[in-house]
Amino acid sequence: MIKIKTKEEIELMRESALIVSKTLGMLASEVKPGVTTLQLDQLAETFIRDHGAVPGFLGLYGFPNTLCMSPNTQVVHGFPTNEPLKEGDIISIDCGALKNEFYGDHAYTFEVGEVDAEIKKLLKVTKESLYVGIREFKIGNRVGDVGYAIQNYCESFGYGVVRELVGHGLGRKMHEDPEMPNYGKRGRGKKFQEGMVVAIEPMINMGTHKIKQLKDGWTILTADGKPSAHFEHDVALVNGKPELLSTFKYIYDALGIESDEEEEFRH
Ligand code: MG
Ligand code: MG
């Protein structure tokens, strides 16, 4: 069942989303060769608690950490480890926070030092596909319209769209209805309604869309060993249109990136 949010609830969700956005912004300056993902995890946990929230993933379904850390060929749900990041790596950092009984859930794939042009392009296209999908989250559309738009965009570059893992409704639970696949057919699936809040999160592989899972029961990797990218925003449907609750602004401020990509989703 889709849980529609009131205006007041959406404001609380914005607060939770922004704590995650600020956490990712703080991490942006720390992601560099030599740092371990476990060190980043500890920084994030402290930062979230200092902001009056609780890490949203810690203990969720038994996950042992604050961040999902998925480098290079890992798609999502990787664990923080003691292995240092290396020049040329990419690292998907997915972070959740719980405040005022509402979750924020938001992810960015960072470059570690200088990254190959081919991989940079995968990141660029995956992030663009996130906005291509968000643009379709509006009154009159259905779940399949978002998935179709993301799939069509990414496949036009020859990339693989992961099928087994999907975006989702967000609220008092981390995963609410509806599921938001990154593939689909136009005009299919549940209808969007005013007051819905969803996490849209394309997981896009440079090669095949096929994945495998490690024996740890969590870590998802590409089946062909090629890199994978992941970006996620929290979005509310307000006045018939998508409104971003999360922002990459803090990341861009930390990295000195100029961008107006989020402007059309603020009103
Ligand atoms: Mg997430
Ligand atoms: Mg999510």
Evaluate whether residue 1 is within a structural domain.
no
CA–centroid distance, 3 to ligand 1, in Å, is 19
Counting the structural domains of the chain, the total is: 1
pLDDT for residue 55 is more than 90: yes
Neighbours of ion ligand 1 (CB under 5 A): 94, 105, 107, 232
In tens, the pLDDT along 256-266 reads: 999 999 999 99
Evaluate whether residue 2 is within a structural domain.
no
In tens, the pLDDT along 192-229 reads: 999 999 999 999 999 999 999 999 999 999 999 999 99
Q: How confident is the model at residue 1 (pLDDT cuts 50, 70, 90)?
A: very high
pLDDT for residue 42 is more than 90: yes
For 35, 41, 112, 204, 260, the CA distances from 82, given in Å and listed in that order, are: 9, 11, 16, 26, 36
Evaluate whether residue 123 is within a structural domain.
yes
Closest CA to 25 of 245, 252, 232: 252
Evaluate whether residue 117 is within a structural domain.
yes
Q: How confident is the model at residue 267 (pLDDT cuts 50, 70, 90)?
A: confident
Evaluate whether residue 179 is within a structural domain.
yes
**Ligand having the closest approach to the CA of 170:** 2
**Can you tell me whether residue 238 is helix, strand or coil?**
strand
Average pLDDT over residues 31-55: 98
Evaluate whether residue 87 is within a structural domain.
yes
CA–centroid distance, 68 to ligand 1, in Å, is 8
Structure tokens at 18: 């922004």
- What are residue 220's phi and psi, to 5 degrees? -105, 130
**The domain spanning residue 246 has which CATH number?**
3.90.230.10
Residue 64 belongs to domain spanning: 7-265
CA–centroid distance, 169 to ligand 2, in Å, is 9
Evaluate whether residue 21 is within a structural domain.
yes
CA–centroid distance, 23 to ligand 2, in Å, is 16
* pTM greater than 0.85: yes
